[in-house]
Every structure is written in C-alpha cells, then in structure tokens.
Structure 1
C-alpha cells in the first residue's frame, strides 16, 4: 500500500515510513520480488552509487480494487435503457466484426484445422482467456478457456457469448462444427468448445 500511495521508494525510505529498518524492509522487498510483485530500478543519486528504488509490478497493481466490471455493466444498462436493445446489438455487432477481421488476418496462414485452432488459442490467451486446446480420442478438438475477462459484460448480455462463437465458426471455416460444451456464465468452471470437421477439411 505504501508503494502504491508513494510511488517508487528505496528500502531505507520504505523502512522509515513503516517504522522499521531499511534492511528489514529490503528483506520484505526481496520476498515480494520473488513473487513478482515488486521490481527494483537503479536511479542516479548524484555523487556515488545509484539508489535502488522499488516499485509495484503490473501483477501487484492488479491486486488493488478495480471497478471496471461494475462500470461495464452500468454502461451496458445505460445503453439498453436510454438507447434501446437495437443500439446494444449494434455495439456487439461492431465488436464482433472487428474481432472477426483481426482473427481472420492472424490465422490467414494456418493451413490445417489444428493450425487454426492453435492460432486461435494463442489469440485468446493474449486477450486474457487462459486458453488451451487438446485433441480428443474421437479425433475432435477441444478449445478450453479457463478464464473469461469479459464475464461481467457477458453475464449482463449473453449476445457477447453468441458473437464469440460466431467468430470462432468464421475463423475455423466452412465444414467445421463448433459447439460450446461448458459455459462460465452458466455456472461452469470454464468455457469449452468442441470442434469437429464435418466435411473434407484438412485436420
């Protein structure tokens, strides 16, 4: 909390603010650094050795309260109540179109279905879905998303989920059946999608 409020501090300065010694503060900082929560940076200190200043990492910043989910739901409710369902559908359609274009461009060189699923998995992981994929005993593929970074929005309006699976179907191409099996919004631990080639599609 002190680093959040005060910004980068040396171990000595942090110890002074916490009412302890600089060495005790440094030991705590080293432990936090091992957990990926703080990082040191050397800054010039005039004559002599640079001073080591400690700051929070992005992982530590994420531990502080974040009301973006509540804000998202509030904005969706405002759009729906003031502009109507048609306006909300237009927003979702625009997001869907943008996502489809980006995904199609990123998977353009994927020759096989497995290649496309692998590329799609990388895209989703980069967006925070903690995605993975496996090949099932029957030859089908399973796309797994262990986290949903838009869960609040999807809960408020499940057209977001409908749009996502439509994008998957577009990216994976004709002759491919994509069906959602598990659904976080419906109470599942994760979202999973069964992917099967129904025509003569190269696996």
Structure 2
C-alpha cells in the first residue's frame, strides 16, 4: 500500500484527522502529510472542515468525500441489487424474507465455527471481528473500561443491498446476538445507513 492509499485508509478507518495526526501515524513530516492530503483533495477524494477548538485557532480536520468512500466499493453491488429486485418481482416480500433467512443461517454457521475455540466474551468478540474483517467489513474489536466490548465495522461491502433491503441489517444484529451467546446483550450504537460513517455494536456482559 503506497502512502496515498494509506492516507485514504486512515481517513476511512479513523474518521476525520488533522494533518499533524496523520503525519504521526504515517511517520511523515507535517508538510509531507499536507501534500498527500492536498493531492487527495485535487483528485476529489478528500475534503476538510475547520473546527473551532477551545483554545487557539481552528483545527483543520480532513475527511473522505463521497468519491473517497467509493474507493472502498460495495461487493458486487449492481448484481446484488438486480437480484433483490428480481426476487421481489417474482416472489414478493415473502420470498425476499426467505432469501434473508437463508443467508442468516449460512452466516450464523460460519461465525459459530469461527468462535468455537473462544471461551471468554472478549475472545468471542475478537473472533467475530476477525471473521467480519475477512468478509470485507474492515472490522475490529475494542474492550472498554466498563467491561463492555465494541465491534467496529469501518466499511460495509453490502451497503447497496442493505440500503435496498434493510432486513439484511436486522438479520446481522440477530445473528451476532446468537453466536455471542446468552451471556451478553448486543446493541447497535452507530449505523452507516442512518448517516454514521461506520457501524458500531456495543456488546455488554449480562450481570
């Protein structure tokens, strides 16, 4: 991955960043980071917003544009949308629900296998994040000070399908709850389809 791609990757996975912060993460000079960001801006891949800090002058935060996000494309989006449309036309919403249920069953079996060797909740969440990452969700897990865990998905490779049929998102939340077990509660805290830049699930142990 070249430096330009690393800049886009960091803006995708970490959200808006200053040039100074990107310079630290990439081990560049501040000038070098600004040149990369300005180059991305010229290509229409990045933009910025000046945010007022409590002290001193505003801080310039760089972010991906719509074209920048499109550099991380949905998986077979056009074909998927065509298939959803055809299933609806041929079999109605009942047929589409059956399609979602079949996908749900297949995904649940795959995740159950991935989590089989993990006992503690932290290990199960980590294994689930690894499985989702392999599917293109740019997923990671984080343990919180209060004992809860975050499953963070920085990208949605089926975003077009989920936009057309939000049953796919509903299905995923239910699958996560089942494979992680009855000892926890899973809640979606951020949702890409609701305008957030990513999807975040909070997994809390049941006391």
- What TM-score, normalized by structure 1, do the two folds share? 0.64
> Among residues 168, 173, 176, which one is paired with 1:168 in the alignment?
176
> Among residues 123, 126, 129, which one is paired with 2:131 in the alignment?
123
The C-alpha deviation readout for 1:64-108, integer Å capped at 9, x for no partner, is x99931221122112112211011100110000011011111211
> Among residues 88, 102, 112, which one is paired with 2:96 in the alignment?
88
1:67/1:170 CA distance change after superposition, 3 Å = closer
Uncovered stretches (5+) of structure 1, i.e. residues with no partner: 1-61
Q: 2:144 matched to which residue of 1? A: 136
Q: Distance in 2 between matches of 1:166 and 1:126?
A: 20
Q: 1:110 matched to which residue of 2? A: 118
Q: 1:178 matched to which residue of 2? A: 186
The C-alpha deviation readout for 1:125-183, integer Å capped at 9, x for no partner, is 00000001111222211110000000000000011001111110011100210000111
Give the secondary-structure state (helix, strand or coil) at the position aligned to 1:155: helix
Q: CA-atom RMSD, angstroms?
A: 2.0
Q: Distance in 2 between matches of 1:96 and 1:74?
A: 20
1:70/1:173 CA distance change after superposition, 3 Å = same
Uncovered stretches (5+) of structure 2, i.e. residues with no partner: 1-69
1:66/1:138 CA distance change after superposition, 3 Å = closer
| Higher helix fraction (1 or 2) | 2
Any conservation in 1 of the 2:75–2:157 contact (CA below 8 Å)? no
Aligned residue runs from structure 1 range 14-53, under 5 A: none
Q: Distance in 2 between matches of 1:113 and 1:85?
A: 36
Give the secondary-structure state (helix, strand or coil) at the position aligned to 1:128: helix
Q: Distance in 2 between matches of 1:180 and 1:66?
A: 21
1:150 is aligned to 2:158: yes
The structure with more radius of gyration: 1
Any conservation in 1 of the 2:185–2:203 contact (CA below 8 Å)? yes
1:179/1:66 CA distance change after superposition, 3 Å = closer
Displacement of 1:112 in angstroms is 0.4
Q: Distance in 2 between matches of 1:66 and 1:143?
A: 20
